[in-house]
Amino acid sequence: MTAALGASVAATAQAQPVNGRDRAADKQALLGYFRANGPKLLSKPQALFKHPSIAPTLPGTEYSTSLWDWDTLWTVRGLFGLAQATNDARFRAAVAEHARGSLFIFFDNQAASGRLPIIMASTDKDANRFPFDARDRNQAKPVMGQLALLIADQVGDARWFAPLFDKLVRFHESWLLHNESKSGLIVWSSDVAIGNDNDPTTFGRPPFSSANLLLNCLFYQDLQAAAELARRLGRPRAERDRLVARSDKLARAIRRECWDPRDAFFYTADVQVTDRRAELIPNVPRGMDTSWQTLPLRIQTFTGFLPLWCGIATKEQAAALVQRNWLSDDRLRAAHGVRTLSRHEAMYTLAFSSNPSNWLGPVWIICNYFVWQALANYGYRALADEMASKTIALLAASLRSDGSLNEYYHPDTGKPLSHKGFMDWNLLVTEMI
């Protein structure tokens, strides 16, 4: 970071003032709600679910009988945060048991190819109604290594994961086999069930074209987690080195292909850069070849912060991004957190949508969490604390008005916009408390 840029960021990185008394009351209200309702997410074995598992929402609400890929990671992380915030060792042990069970359920349903389902229900192992083992369809997001390492950290032991480690490696290999582009970035097979469902850098785009930053940063984190698990399990050093090398290769690809120095922002990349001259004009001399493998999709979404969340951005990149794209105006920074899509983009809308859910502007707590962690990682403590305060206040207000929490919110008013009773990654606020 240059001295001038560092001083500029420091001068403007002033958080909005927080009323300490209000924040303390909001914390207590949220912890009380989570303490009363968190245990309700711990589900007993039933039907196709042969192990105890973690539900993303309260019983009787939408999704309550489902098991989702990345939702499971964040719900488990939030429940462990609750156990820590309330100093409840018995609850932490129960969460660990159900989290292990969820992981085993996913791997119980692994295809011979190594692929895993995105979502399952206790009566339907592929509740998305499409074959997750088909190459042209999406499979589970690369989060299983992160989930396993999280559990291992909480219980102080990774040996329980030993029978699943080779299955995790096969899962990663299945991603690389058909979804690694020439650039080194990983692409989605289609635009269905990508997590941030209607992100315009993937939603509506051609198959195998979108190297979405969410996917690539999750994969980087999962490779890192797998390398650490390999170390703890005493796997061969060469295996761990291969995992580290893969994660480093992906980090370099993200910095090379996704960072835009002109805008000081990380963008999802389009990898469909194909020279078709030999096919279309075979009798014309080829001339200059294309020297680039991707094109940036210059649409600003919260995913631009993910290379900071997973720690692969340089300090200089982080400083420029925070200064020019967070502090400069309200295109992403809102009264209640981070807009999932810049309000300057033509696609920006706050309308309700359940299928796909709306990631075109509303505040999602998972996105607040990503940006909170990203800011903290690079030393922007005041800004991270501001994000924490906004998130705590938003959820506490939702709890007071609705008696429960919701899936996503209006970025300017804080009004709930979707799915009353939603828990899932809302629990991540326990790490901010």
Query: How far, rounded to the nearest angstrom, does the alpha carbon of residue 68 sit from its chain's CA centroid?
Result: 13
Model confidence over 224-233: pLDDT tens digits? 999 999 999 9
Structure tokens at 366: 């998972």
pLDDT at 63: 79
pLDDT of the residue at 135: 85
> Is pLDDT at 14 greater than 50 in this prediction?
no
pLDDT for 279: 82
Q: Which of 59-73, 134-148, 172-186 has the lowest mean pLDDT?
A: 59-73
pLDDT on residue 131: 66
Q: Interior CA angle at 393 toward 376 and 7, to 5°?
A: 35
pLDDT tens-digit profile of 357-391?
999 999 999 999 999 999 999 999 999 999 999 99
For 269-322, write each residue's pLDDT tens digit. Answer: 999 987 777 888 888 887 877 888 999 999 999 999 999 999 999 999 999 999
How does pLDDT run across 105-118, given as a tens digit for each residue? Answer: 999 999 999 999 99
Provide the strand spans (E) within 207-331: 210-211, 259-260, 265-266, 269-270, 295-296
- In this prediction, residues 89-115 reach a mean pLDDT of 97
Tokens of 345: 């983009």
- Per-residue model confidence (pLDDT) at position 19: 60
Q: Determine the pLDDT at residue 361.
A: 98
Point out the least confidently predicted range of 75-89, 122-136, 242-256: 122-136
Helix, strand or coil for residue 373? helix
> What's the mean pLDDT when you consider all of the chain?
92
Structure confidence by residue, pLDDT tens digits, 385-394: 999 999 999 9
Structure confidence by residue, pLDDT tens digits, 405-424: 999 999 999 999 988 889 99
Mean pLDDT of 234-258: 98
Q: Are strands 66-68 and 119-121 parallel, antiparallel or unpaired?
A: antiparallel
Q: Give the whole-angstrom CA distance, residue 345 versus residue 361.
A: 10
The alpha-helical segments, DSSP class H, found in 291-408 are 306-309, 315-325, 365-377, 381-402
